[in-house]
């Protein structure tokens, strides 16, 4: 998080606690348990799919999920609230995208889990994990997705430090962010004022 200067020239600062939580490298120890837990959840979810032919070969598992999601019951509320998202899934079904998309989901879950556990670009991994949670929720599947989504958002906000105890300690330094200090602009030193010499 950064300070913001308004149009009136006022500086809006984040509360000190938030600054430490989201920007202080020592807070990486606080984010470590959440990051490892979330990474484990994704690897656990992927492990069931990677060994299942209905995910990795035919895509039947994802097809069944999409068909159930787009179905409009005669009574009661449909699983999908927004018509545009139902249209999107129906287009994927019509194109038989589940045959390859199921593999993307399974491998994506594994990569997100590895990225979070290793701490490699943890903020980016959390973003893609949260994106998958969002899609599952949009399709009407609550399950553990709301909790995982909140955890992902927290790690996204703390991207600068959540992977500090991990590969990001090296990766983000290699990229030059956020732990390479930027020299502050030099402030001009005021010139000493001399007393005016009396005129005759």
What is the pLDDT of the chain when averaged over all its residues? 88
Tens-digit pLDDT profile for residues 94-134 = 999 999 999 999 999 999 999 999 999 999 999 999 999 99
Task: From 128, 131, 144, select the one nearest 45 (Cα to Cα).
Answer: 144
Residue 11's pLDDT band (cuts 50, 70, 90)? confident
Phi, psi of 12 (to 5 degrees): -100, 115
Residue 186 lies in a domain: no
Residue 55 lies in a domain: yes
Residue 122 lies in a domain: yes
Residue 68's contacts (CB-CB under 8 Å, 6 or more residues apart) are 79
Query: What would the mean pLDDT of 139-144 be, rounded to a whole number?
Result: 90
Distance CA 154, CA 14 (A): 16
Cβ of 149: how many Cβ atoms within 10 Å? 18
- Quote the domain boundaries for residue 113: 41-175
Residue 149's pLDDT band (cuts 50, 70, 90)? very high
pLDDT of amino acid 5: 61
pLDDT of amino acid 74: 83
pTM: 0.81
Residue 46 lies in a domain: yes
Residue 140 lies in a domain: yes
pLDDT of amino acid 118: 97
Structure tokens belonging to residue 126: 């959390």
Residue 64's contacts (CB-CB under 8 Å, 6 or more residues apart) are none
Residue 30's pLDDT band (cuts 50, 70, 90)? very high
Overall domain count for the chain: 1
pLDDT of amino acid 20: 85
pLDDT of amino acid 100: 96
Residue 170 lies in a domain: yes
Task: From 153, 97, 104, 161, select the one nearest 129 (Cα to Cα).
Answer: 153
% of the chain beyond a pLDDT of 90: 66
Tens-digit pLDDT profile for residues 78-100 = 999 999 999 999 999 999 999 99
pLDDT of amino acid 179: 59
Structure tokens belonging to residue 15: 């509360």
Tens-digit pLDDT profile for residues 161-194 = 999 999 999 998 888 776 555 555 666 666 666 6
Distance CA 35, CA 122 (A): 8
Residue 14 lies in a domain: no
3-state secondary structure 2-60: CCEECCCCCEECCCHHHHHHHHCHHHHHHHHHHHHHHHHHHHHHHHHHHCCHHHHCCCH
Question: How many angstroms separate the most distant Cα atoms in the chain?
Answer: 105
Phi-psi region of 153 (alpha: psi -120 to 50; beta: other; left: phi over 0): alpha
Residue 22 lies in a domain: no
Q: Identify each DSSP E strand in 38-184 by its residue range.
A: none
pLDDT of amino acid 182: 55
């Amino acid at each position: 998080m950064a300070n913001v200067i308004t149009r009136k020239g006022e500086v809006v600062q984040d509360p000190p606690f938030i600054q430490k939580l989201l920007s202080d490298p020592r807070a990486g120890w606080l984010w470590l348990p959440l990051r490892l837990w979330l990474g484990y959840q994704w690897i656990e979810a992927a492990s069931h799919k990677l060994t299942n032919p209905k995910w990795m070969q035919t895509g039947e598992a994802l097809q069944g999920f999409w068909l159930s999601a787009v179905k409009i019951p005669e009574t009661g509320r449909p699983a999908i609230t927004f018509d545009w998202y139902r249209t999107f899934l129906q287009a994927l079904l019509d194109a038989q995208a589940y045959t390859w998309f199921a593999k993307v989901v399974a491998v994506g879950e594994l990569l997100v889990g590895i990225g979070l556990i290793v701490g490699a670009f943890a903020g980016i991994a959390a973003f893609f994990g949260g994106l998958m949670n969002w899609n599952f929720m949009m399709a009407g599947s609550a399950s553990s997705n709301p909790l995982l989504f909140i955890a992902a958002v927290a790690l996204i906000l703390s991207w600068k430090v959540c992977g500090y105890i991990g590969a990001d300690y090296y990766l983000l330094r290699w990229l030059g962010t956020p732990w390479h200090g930027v020299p502050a602009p030099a402030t001009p030193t005021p010139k000493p004022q001399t007393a005016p010499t009396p005129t005759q």
